[in-house]
């Protein structure tokens, strides 16, 4: 979350159970008034991983911080590369385990959560002791995004969270841990890439399917209210090495969804396309004689991910991050992109409402699944009370 904002007053608190990485007193009070947890950010763990003495000191200081600020737990997010069985992997497990032990001793209802990559198998070189971490933490927050950090094939722009990869990653997690401890994290942002293979022309490469439709007649509109794109609409990227991979999304600019609305408005983007393979939207725009391609999440693409999580029986869903629903001018960071008066536009307000509405997909499917389960386990003559 961006610091020093008051955007939390606009959150849909009825659809939240936990807010992470904040200790603002007003936010904590508002969250608690709605029955929502607020958990601390474990932050930089370099010192805590050095050895047993540093580990104990770190845990005691962190638990003291949590209690002093009336917080409800802690979230760990270590994204450094680690070889299987390495000292850092073992030290991380020991740190999370000790934190959980001490914190639950003084605050039994606290939550200890760990952020994990989209796949447990060598994502960005991260090979931690996942099953051991799951013994100490609940939930595991699966970061189902930034999945182009390592691009091993053709160096082109793609979805931040390709549907089939998200699904495959979750299935891999389910080999190791039960669904009841997994929360699927989704991106409320996108990546803006400058394309090498363009000179400011609006269409990078004419999509073959679109060309056939235009030649033979018929509707060239596709799924989700946008033109149906394909990987014929290619944006080649500048190569950038990341942890051994020759190409990476590091060359793209990570942009909040609220900011992307302003990009679409200022550059006259009227045609958001839909990639049916990746189940994700994207659009092209020209800037300073260069073509850009933007892959992002919208309510339609996110609803598909929420549906996936519900069907797999996961504990919940989450987002990185809530502040991406707000233009940065509102967050008090910069007025460069601000609408007149620094207020949200009607389009942005509608986007926020639609993003929260998409979350309903998960809750509705979970409620319906619970009702079906209750009915299937009822004695023949019993009555089942409706779930509220």
Residues belonging to the active site: 79
Q: Which two tokens stand for residue 131?
A: 């099953």
Q: How far is CA 376 from the centre of its chain?
A: 34
Residues linked to residue 386 through DSSP beta bridges, in sequence order:
none
Alpha carbon distances (Å) from 94 to 129, 189, 343:
10, 33, 47
State the DSSP code for 384. -
Beta-strand pair 189-194/227-229: unpaired
Query: In the sheet where 253-256 sits, what is the strand order?
Result: 227-229, 273-275, 280-287, 290-296, 189-194, 253-256
Minimal CA–CA distance to 157: which of 303, 275, 304, 243?
275
The C-alpha atoms of residue 42 and residue 23 are separated, in whole angstroms, by 12
Query: Taking a C-beta distance cutoff of 8 angstroms, is the pair 98, 136 a contact?
Result: no
Helices (H) and strands (E) in the chain, counts: 9, 13
For the sheet with 111-117, list strands across it.
18-20, 37-41, 73-76, 111-117, 140-143, 182-187, 316-320
d(CA 120, CA 342): 42
Question: 172-203 in b/e burial notation, b at 16+ Cβ within 10 A?
Answer: ebeeebeeebbbbbbbbbbbbbbbeebeeeee
Q: Please spell the DSSP secondary structure of 46-81, one letter per residue.
A: TTTTS-HHHHHHHHHHHHHHHHHTT--EEEE---S-
In order, the DSSP letters of 105-144 are HH-TT-EEEEEEESSTTTBTTB---HHHHHHH-B-EEEE-
| Helix, coil or strand: residue 282 | strand
């Amino acid at each position: 979350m961006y610091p020093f904002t008051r955007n939390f007053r606009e959150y849909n608190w009825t659809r939240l159970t936990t807010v992470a990485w904040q200790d603002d007193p007003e936010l904590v009070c508002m969250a608690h008034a709605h029955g929502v947890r607020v958990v601390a950010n474990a932050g930089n763990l370099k010192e805590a991983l050095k050895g047993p003495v540093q580990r104990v000191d770190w845990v005691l200081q962190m638990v003291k911080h949590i209690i002093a600020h009336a917080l409800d737990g802690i979230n760990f997010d270590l994204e450094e590369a680690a070889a299987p069985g390495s000292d850092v992997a073992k030290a991380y497990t020991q740190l999370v385990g000790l934190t959980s032990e001490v914190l639950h001793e003084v605050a039994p209802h606290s939550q200890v959560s760990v952020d994990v990559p989209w796949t447990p198998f060598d994502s960005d070189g991260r090979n931690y002791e996942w099953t051991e971490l799951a013994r100490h933490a609940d939930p595991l927050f699966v970061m189902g995004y930034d999945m182009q950090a390592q691009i091993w094939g053709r160096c082109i722009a793609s979805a931040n969270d390709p549907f089939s990869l998200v699904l495959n990653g979750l299935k891999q997690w389910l080999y190791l841990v039960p669904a009841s401890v997994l929360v699927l994290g989704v991106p409320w942002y996108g990546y803006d890439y400058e394309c090498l293979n363009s000179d400011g022309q609006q269409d990078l490469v004419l999509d073959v399917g679109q060309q056939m439709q235009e030649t033979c007649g018929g509707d060239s509109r596709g799924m989700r209210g946008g033109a149906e794109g394909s990987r014929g609409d290619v944006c080649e990227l500048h190569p950038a090495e990341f942890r051994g991979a020759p190409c990476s999304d590091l060359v793209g600019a990570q942009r909040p969804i609220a900011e992307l609305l302003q990009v679409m408005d200022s550059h006259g983007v009227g045609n958001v396309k839909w990639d049916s393979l990746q189940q994700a939207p994207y659009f092209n725009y020209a800037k300073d004689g260069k073509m850009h391609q933007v892959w992002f999440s919208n309510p339609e693409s996110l609803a598909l991910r929420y549906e996936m999580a519900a069907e797999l029986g996961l504990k919940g869903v989450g987002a990185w991050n809530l502040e991406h629903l707000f233009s940065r001018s509102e967050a008090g960071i910069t007025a460069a992109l601000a609408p007149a008066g620094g207020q949200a536009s009607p389009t942005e307000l509608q986007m926020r409402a639609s993003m929260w509405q998409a979350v309903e997909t998960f809750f509705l499917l979970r409620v319906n699944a619970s009702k079906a389960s209750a009915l299937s386990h009822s004695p023949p003559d019993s009555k089942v009370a409706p779930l509220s």
